[in-house]
Amino acid sequence: MPVLNIIIIGAGLIGPRHAQSVLRHPSTNLLALIDPSPTASTTAATLNTLYFPSLSALLSTPDIPHPDAAIICTPNHTHVPIALSCLDANIHILLEKPISDSISTALPLLHASKNHPELKVLIGHHRRFNPYITQTKKILTSGSLGTILAISGLWTIYKPTSYFSAPTSWRKEKGMGGVLGINFIHDVDLLHYLFGPITRVYAERTTPQRGRDDPQHTAEEGAAVTLRFGSGVVGTFVVCDGTPAPWSFEVGTGENPLIPMVPGNGNGGGAGGFYRVLGTRGALSVPDLKRWSYDGGERSWSERLRVDEFGGEVDREAVPFDLQLGHFVDVLEGRESVVRCDAVEGLRALVVVDAVKRALEGGVPVEVQDVEDLLRE
């Protein structure tokens, strides 16, 4: 079977991680790395692949195979222009989250993708493929928690000053960076995946720390958010990138090799759950995947809770980026017909983050815009 020629656009933090997945997959070939940075050619050499400063430079070079697909890993505000160029060049897309930096700039990609139905667009909310989330979804789908009532979540961690330094100083600019669009959007997508669409939000800002010392740091640093889902589920979420805390997806699952996992019992980080799911028949903490219930006894607070542990069923060696790429390849080769996180789902997460930002600014609850209504405008 012929291999798929894949290009990586963006040689920053995430691009090389995606490149490793491409190199590991038996059905993909890393055709080239594309980035205008002077250092990107060195990165390409370490990956043993071709280097080009732009997509147009690759496409205009004789005797280079036409790319089948592109993985776009550039700054958020550049996502859509690059994705549109790929669609125009008949190239399938795996686009790193978020889909864009604003709703208005994201919409052209959704309209363009409708005009190119033969081309697949997968938004890179790769945590949908994380084995801890796969097992969580399985437990929820089984109905063993009963009717889901509420979810409580945390994404709390400390980012060093270097994270906001050039060439990624855009991360500290309001509207371009900030913990909501860069990090919380991951959790929003997972909450959608697990519990359905969020329909109303409210938010209170954490006390700024970096902005106090650096006037150029205008992006939000954290917030406490309340959530209402269309299903009737309610939720609370605290997100903050200025605290040395272990309650985050990365620290709990060990997914990111650059962020150490808190030692635990092998079934998820030892700090306990960064998600707590509350149902009428039981409660679940994630990622340790402990289910708490009164099964086998009277349902009463005077009874001892029973705990069932499902963490042992998680394949902790699996790499989510590899699993995401595997799904993408299966879609391109026809073994799967539905993209698990398409452009509509990518926009849905962005719309919620936009609503949270508006709640922060206005100090009032905000109804989340309906994605289908946006697409009809």
More confident residue, 175 or 210: 210
Largest CA distance in the chain: 76
- pLDDT of 100 reads 92
CB atoms within 10 A of CB 334: 7
pLDDT at 267: 64
Residue 266 in this model has a pLDDT that exceeds 60: no
Residues 6-12 have a mean pLDDT of 96
Domain chopping of the chain, boundaries: 4-119, 130-315+352-361
> Could you tell me the pTM of the whole model?
0.92
Among the ranges given (50-54, 110-114, 255-259), the one the predictor scored with the smallest mean pLDDT: 255-259
CATH 3.30.360.10 fits 130-315+352-361, yes or no: yes
Confidence of residue 159 (pLDDT cuts 50, 70, 90): very high
Between residues 212 and 71, the one the model is more confident about: 71
Check whether 270 has a pLDDT greater than 70. no
pLDDT recorded at residue 284: 97
Residue percentage of the chain with pLDDT more than 90: 82
Residue 264 has pLDDT above 80, yes or no: no
Predicted confidence at residue 265, as pLDDT, reads 53
Angle CA 196–76–213, to nearest 5: 105
Evaluate whether 266 touches 311 at the Cβ level (below 8 Å): yes
What's residue 82's pLDDT? Answer: 98
Predicted local distance difference test score (pLDDT) of residue 377: 72
Strand order in the sheet with 283-286: 306-309, 290-293, 283-286, 275-279, 148-156, 234-240, 222-229, 198-205, 366-367
Q: How far is CA 342 from CA 91, 123, 355, in A?
A: 16, 6, 20
Q: Dihedrals φ, ψ of 152, to 5°?
A: -125, 130
From CA 70, how far away is CA 15, in angstroms rounded?
11
Q: What are 237-254's pLDDT values in tens digits?
A: 999 999 999 999 999 999
Is-contact 4 329, C-beta < 8 A?
yes
Predicted local confidence at residue 176, as pLDDT: 81
Report how far residue 277's alpha carbon sits from residue 237's, in angstroms, rounded to the nearest whole number: 12
Instruction: Tell me the average pLDDT across 56-67.
Output: 96
| Predicted confidence band of residue 268 (pLDDT cuts 50, 70, 90) | low
Where residue 1 falls among pLDDT bands split at 50, 70, 90?
low
Mean pLDDT confidence for 275-287: 97
The closest of 122, 149, 44, 33 to 330, measured between CA atoms, is 122
Tell me how far apart the alpha carbons of residues 224 and 198 are, in angstroms, rounded to a whole number.
16
Q: Which has the closest alpha carbon to 91: 125, 44, 57, 59?
A: 59
pLDDT-derived band at 328 (thresholds 50, 70, 90) equals very high
Please give the CATH number for the structural domain made up of 4-119. Answer: 3.40.50.720
